[in-house]
Amino acid sequence: MDRKKLVLVGNGMAGIRTIEHVLKLAPEAYEITIFGSEPHPNYNRIMLSSVLAGGSDMSEVILNDWSWYEEHRIRLHAGHTVTQIDPLARKVYSDKGAAADYDVLILATGSDPFMLPLPGADKEGVIGFRDIKDCETMLEASRKYKKAAVIGGGLLGLEAARGLLHLGMDVTVVHIHPYLMERQLDETASKMLQKELEAQGMKFLFRKHSEEIAGRKRARELVFSDRTRLEADLIVMAVGIKPNVKLARQAGIAVNRGIVVNDLMQTNIPGIYAVGECAEHRGITYGLVAPLYEQGAVLAKHLAGAETEGYAGSVTSTKLKVSGVDVFSAGHFAETEGARSLRYQDEVDQVYKKIVISGDRLIGAVLFGDTSDGSKLFSLMKKGESVKGREKELLLGFSAQGSGTETAEQRLAAMADDEIICGCNGVTKETIKDAVLTKNCTTVASVKACTKASGSCGGCKPLVQGLVQLYAGDAAGEPAKEGICGCTTLTRDEIVAEMSRMKLQSVQETMHVLGWNNPEGCSKCRPSLNYYLGMLFPESYADEKESRFTNERYHANIQKDGTYSVVPRIYGGVTSPSELKKIAEVAEKYDVPMVKITGGQRIDLLGVKKEDLPNMWAELDMPSGYAYGKALRTVKTCVGSTFCRFGTQDSIGMGVRLEKEFERLNTPAKVKLAVSGCPRNCAEATIKDFGVVAIDGGWELHVGGNGGVHVRATELLCVVKTEDEVVEWAGAFLQYYRENAQWNERTSVWIERVGLESVKKALENKEDRIALFARVKQALGRLNDPWKEIVADGALRKNFEPLPEAASARN
């Protein structure tokens, strides 16, 4: 069956959720192409504030990694902005020259931050808070500057302010209204929130109209209409969003505030749909996740040919942690004519509750401090059922005639099974109950992996935890049940032990015998299982190429535009005129757009087409530098005693020997070495995984360094006298790391987890070191250089035939 061509413009949460539904309902119906303006895979924009506040790593906000696109044969153009739609030809074009035909076009272009048109708004240091780039700008600014102003006291502004506060900046929130979060909270709850935030160190200016941003090249002051000023080196505007409709308008698609759609998310042009923040449905645009996901579910059913009643709009709620404080609001919580409200306030425990009732129906609620009843109240609002006689029970959380001692567990047990627990993803209590009781999901993480509950804003996490505790009992939350991914509850150590005990010999066999929840595994577990099997059985295990990341299968690093980066091995950073000439000739022949010297003293050929990779490697006739692999990457050297007047040892010779000794070695994560010829440390050996520093009469061996995002200096492992001892200790250390670290765990993290003393103890006995060194040599003995495989094995060339350009996991 010929598949229709589906093009998605926008790689964000709403668009990708639509694609996920389509893949479930009609996995073979469409050939899918996605354009995303950012050079990243699909990520959780809501969690960016958590990244700033230190609660999450940048990698933790990724919802669908690069390998997900590949697994579903999706052509992804990351870093491409679509600039033109031709509805007659049914074709879209990007700013980087890519084009795609479509039968179905989905616009999920999202929204842009509204930037106040102030004089000086174009200066350095003035940004919105919308994407990863903004996050990175704020992180960088916090290292150089100390005073920040956030314009906007809504939810986004407060989250940005909390993140900047965590980064050590002096933060002032400027708000035009008399109190914070006026769209989500009434004045009482807002004042309670303000008090909590002030205790954290946040400052506030209310009823302030920003008029100008002063400074020369960079912002220095925020000037207000009353001519008062606020010193600020970084100014974050969080005053609202506006749907991104420029592309649609240029194509003749009907646009109001957003792209106008009907109940099936169709625009006025056949074959073109819109979902998410860019879409306007019945005169309303939505900025919360739950409505956008509801739109995506309706559109996916329609595209899959499934029955759907269409999208009828959403009743919205907000349930979030605002800078560590639980907040919930839903519906119409302001008093209006004909409505009545009930309130409860406890200033000792900082709890506030308010419900608003019209007739006999609940129409609004605000909860502060204790949001455990939020889902129940929201469910009643959506159902529109009578609450007559139950008003106090709803407010207080227990029957007015009861004792008032009803526990949180009893409340959860009393919830109806169809009550929505996770509003963002539409997950009911019954779905979570089923995951715990029938799928052995006994932690919040495993429930999230199975159902997506708590996977977006995270506001429902306490309820999910409560339900896990209710149904799993004593088994709830056991660390041993966390698992290496959502496919299994087994830890790394349990898996390796069972592999060794039962002599398992393939990834598929391991998943079957050990009872994987997902029989095919996922992009997280398959590469790790492949590594563990190779580490345990180096002589008998046949490496499974299909379980490796795309970069490792193609033997090159995929770039954001779908081209590849080729890095030949240059031992110790030392090359020759003939090698340089060969690289130059290949670069010219294949029209390589950029040739760059890397930080690891190698030459990187960037922008290579996938179909050119086999011939390029053949003509280079050089080993691969493994710039793509979880393996030994580089051994950086200084010139040492060969040329330098300060050098005490031959660092070049030592570095080349180490690189030739351990090249091709597969490791849990990438490994970088360096050799410095004297304590001046020009090769930066003390921020490498294994660093060697020459001293008079010997060598210092350092371990556990990292020069990346989380910089970590090495710790001294030992001092040795000879080059042979350096190699012996290096091999023993690498093998001990291979056998004991978790998959994708850098040595810096591993050393912090297990402690340097435990590593020293494992290596102090020479017999143990020799045994470890023998095992690492055994593992190396079975490895071939992948570039030779590409050239020699014609069957492997099929990997390089033009396929959908899907990005893969980056290392």
Cα separation, 138 vs 159, in Å, equals: 13
What's the pLDDT score for residue 797?
Answer: 46
Q: Give the architecture (CATH level 2) of 317-406.
A: 2-Layer Sandwich (3.30)
CATH code at 126-239: 3.50.50.60
| Sign of torsion over alpha carbons 192, 198, 202, 208 | positive
487, pLDDT greater than 60: yes
**Which tens digit of pLDDT belongs to each residue from 684-714?**
999 999 999 999 889 999 999 998 767 899 9
Going by pLDDT thresholds of 50, 70 and 90, the confidence category of residue 549 is low
What's the pLDDT score for residue 560?
Answer: 64
Residue 316, both tokens: 């919205």
321, pLDDT greater than 80: no
Bridge partner residues of 236 (DSSP): 127, 150
Judged by average pLDDT, the poorest of 175-179, 313-317, 546-550 is 546-550
**Which tens digit of pLDDT belongs to each residue from 419-431?**
778 766 668 888 8
Helix (H, G, I), strand (E, B) or coil at 135: helix
Rounded average pLDDT over 353-381:
86
The number of beta carbons lying within 10 Å of the beta carbon of residue 492 is 17
Helix or strand holding residue 236 (H, E)? strand 234-237
**Which tens digit of pLDDT belongs to each residue from 330-363?**
888 877 777 888 898 888 788 899 999 988 898 8
411, pLDDT greater than 80: no
**Which tens digit of pLDDT belongs to each residue from 664-673?**
899 999 999 9
Going by pLDDT thresholds of 50, 70 and 90, the confidence category of residue 403 is very low
Higher pLDDT, 378 or 226: 226
565, pLDDT greater than 60: yes
Cα separation, 403 vs 123, in Å, equals: 61
CATH topology of domain 4-110+243-304: FAD/NAD(P)-binding domain (3.50.50)
Going by pLDDT thresholds of 50, 70 and 90, the confidence category of residue 522 is confident
5, pLDDT greater than 90: yes
Rounded average pLDDT over 534-550:
80
Bridge partner residues of 231 (DSSP): 221
Residue 388, both tokens: 């007559």
What's the pLDDT score for residue 222?
Answer: 96
480, pLDDT greater than 80: no
Residue 311 per-residue DSSP state: -
Going by pLDDT thresholds of 50, 70 and 90, the confidence category of residue 791 is low
CATH topology of domain 630-784: Sulfite Reductase Hemoprotein; domain 1 (3.30.413)
What b/e readout covers 774-810, taking b as 16+ CB neighbours within 10 angstroms?
ebbeebbeeeebbbebbbeeeebeebbeeeebbbbbb
82, pLDDT greater than 60: yes
Cα separation, 232 vs 125, in Å, equals: 9
Judged by average pLDDT, the poorest of 289-293, 413-417, 584-588 is 413-417
807, pLDDT greater than 90: no
What's the pLDDT score for residue 798?
Answer: 45
Helix (H, G, I), strand (E, B) or coil at 409: helix
Under 8 Å between Cβ of 659 and 572: yes
Cα separation, 720 vs 726, in Å, equals: 7
User: Taking each helix axis from N to C terminus, what angle separates 429-439 and 444-451, rounded to the nearest 10 degrees?
Assistant: 110
Higher pLDDT, 94 or 491: 94
Residue 725, both tokens: 């001892």
| Sign of torsion over alpha carbons 51, 56, 57, 63 | negative
What's the pLDDT score for residue 57?
Answer: 63
Mean pLDDT of the chain: 86
Higher pLDDT, 65 or 93: 93
What are the DSSP E strand ranges found in 307-465?
317-322, 325-331, 339-346, 351-358, 361-368, 420-422, 427-428
**For the whole model, what pTM was predicted?**
0.62
Bridge partner residues of 8 (DSSP): 34, 106
Going by pLDDT thresholds of 50, 70 and 90, the confidence category of residue 30 is very high
Higher pLDDT, 457 or 575: 575
CA triplet 201, 204, 207: central angle to 5 degrees?
175
What's the pLDDT score for residue 479?
Answer: 40
Residue 182 per-residue DSSP state: T
What's the pLDDT score for residue 402?
Answer: 43
Rounded average pLDDT over 385-401:
74
Residue 609, both tokens: 């087409």
Cα separation, 33 vs 7, in Å, equals: 5
Higher pLDDT, 562 or 681: 681
Percent of the chain predicted with pLDDT > 70: 90
Q: Is 426 left (phi over 0), alpha (psi -120 to 50) or beta?
A: left
Cα separation, 772 vs 776, in Å, equals: 6
The number of beta carbons lying within 10 Å of the beta carbon of residue 274 is 32
What b/e readout covers 607-642, taking b as 16+ CB neighbours within 10 angstroms?
bbebebbbbbbebbebbbbbbbbbbbbbbbbbbbbe
477, pLDDT greater than 70: no
Going by pLDDT thresholds of 50, 70 and 90, the confidence category of residue 784 is low
